[in-house]
Amino acid sequence: MRPIIPDYLAEALRDVEPDTSGEPAGYIPELAAANPERLGAAFAMIDGEVYGAGDIDTEFTIQSISKPFVYALALSDRGFDPVLAKVGVEPSGEAFNEISLESDTGRPLNPMINAGAITVHSLAGTEGLKPRERVERVLHGLSAFAGRRLKMDEAVCVSEMEHAHRNLAIAHMLRNHNVLTEDPRVIVDGYTRQCSVLVTTRDLAMMAATLANRGKNPLSGEQVVPEPVVRQVLSVMFSCGMYDAAGDWATQVGIPAKSGVAGGLIGALPGQIGMATFSPRLDGHGNSVRGVSLFERFSSDMGLHVM
């Protein structure tokens, strides 16, 4: 039988390849130096089968795609109420690195923007963990979603920390409101390490498939987080995962999704498939230009819009 899906993916990549619009993230020097031509796409089915085309085994940093997974870990480690008390679930309609806090409580609007994700990082693992143990919990949890042991890119982490003034400012605001209760610099350091975890497009598809498979990794069979946690995470990805482009995405693509500034993009369809693309040039919202085009195409070709 002809391998229909790899052919389909290769053709989709050929069609978007000429689009060289956008720029790799400039505010993290190590990312600005990335090869902007890289391009890959992978589908992971909930039975563990993976189809891919292009650069699906090239490693890059997970960046904001870590946010929904660490949100899942925090919900699972601490329970819903303590996490919801600190981070809301409303779309901000603002850029990912805006402050976007509720004016009365200082609670970040959602866990997908930096303010929310920095707070969520502080809630990963059981209460009272040392910062290093918390980072270990995050790395272990992300690895369980991927089904293999992941590691961090120290160079990207150091590069981002040297320029993390904006995230540090956000963290100080959060500390001022007692949303963060620890040293802001220590939390931002942990969050930056979380963003520096190296993944491939294949890994991201498998991580998305773990969400699509209601929290159970299709390869290892491990139930990484409970099913109600996955429902919460996918709902927030649907409404907030693409930042101030979330409404366009919901109407045009209609798949719970999350992007990262290294150029990764994931989508997860419950009970069906995890999808991932990689292309480092970003649009003005911080989302991969060719990744967005690919997802628009996947959604329309295969009727994947959830509505």
Measured CA to CA, the distance from residue 178 to residue 105 in angstroms comes to: 9
Under the binding rule (CB under 6 A), the answer on residue 115 touching ligand DON is no
Measured CA to CA, the distance from residue 23 to residue 285 in angstroms comes to: 11
Question: Are 264 and 279 spatial neighbours (Cβ–Cβ below 8 Å)?
Answer: no
Closest CA to 5 of 245, 307, 301: 301
Catalytic position from the list 64, 76, 143, 299: 64
Annotated binding residue at 191?
Answer: yes
Question: Are 266 and 257 spatial neighbours (Cβ–Cβ below 8 Å)?
Answer: yes
Q: Judge residue 220's burial from the number of C-beta atoms within 10 Å of its C-beta, 0-12 exposed, 13-18 middle, 19 or more buried.
A: middle
For residue 45, give the H/E element and its range.
strand 40-45
Under the binding rule (CB under 6 A), the answer on residue 286 touching ligand DON is yes
Under the binding rule (CB under 6 A), the answer on residue 200 touching ligand DON is no
Q: Judge residue 188's burial from the number of C-beta atoms within 10 Å of its C-beta, 0-12 exposed, 13-18 middle, 19 or more buried.
A: buried
Under the binding rule (CB under 6 A), the answer on residue 184 touching ligand DON is no
Is position 64 annotated as part of the catalytic site? Answer: yes
Under the binding rule (CB under 6 A), the answer on residue 114 touching ligand DON is yes
Under the binding rule (CB under 6 A), the answer on residue 279 touching ligand DON is no
Residue 257, token pair as written in the block = 């999704």
Annotated binding residue at 71?
Answer: no
Among 199, 261, 269, 276, binds ligand DON (CB under 6 A): 261
Under the binding rule (CB under 6 A), the answer on residue 187 touching ligand DON is no
Opening angle at CA 93, ends 91 and 97, nearest 5: 95
Kind of pairing between the strands at 264-269 and 273-278: antiparallel
Catalytic position from the list 16, 51, 67, 224: 67
Question: Toward ligand DON, which CB reaches closer, 51 or 191?
Answer: 191
Is position 51 annotated as part of the catalytic site? Answer: no
Residues in contact with ligand DON, counted by CB under 6 A, come to a total of 12
Complete DSSP assignment for 114-175: HHHHHHHHHTSSSTT--HHHHHHHHHHHHHHHHTS---B-HHHHHHHHHTTHHHHHHHHHHH
Work out how close the CB of 114 gets to ligand DON at its nearest, in angstroms, rounded to a whole number.
5
Question: Are 268 and 212 spatial neighbours (Cβ–Cβ below 8 Å)?
Answer: yes
Annotated binding residue at 94?
Answer: no
Under the binding rule (CB under 6 A), the answer on residue 100 touching ligand DON is no
Is position 122 annotated as part of the catalytic site? Answer: no
Question: Are 143 and 150 spatial neighbours (Cβ–Cβ below 8 Å)?
Answer: yes
Question: Toward ligand DON, which CB reaches closer, 111 or 215?
Answer: 111
- Residue span 146-175 as binding mask against ligand DON, x where in contact by CB under 6 A, dash where not: --------------x------x--------
Q: Which of residues 208-227 bind ligand DON (CB under 6 A)?
A: none
- Residue span 35-74 as binding mask against ligand DON, x where in contact by CB under 6 A, dash where not: ----------------------------xx----------
Footprint of ligand DON (CB under 6 A) = 63-64, 96-97, 114, 160, 167, 195, 259-261, 286
Binding residues for substrate: 64, 114, 160, 167, 191, 243, 261
- The residues carrying an active-site annotation are 64, 67, 191, 243, 261
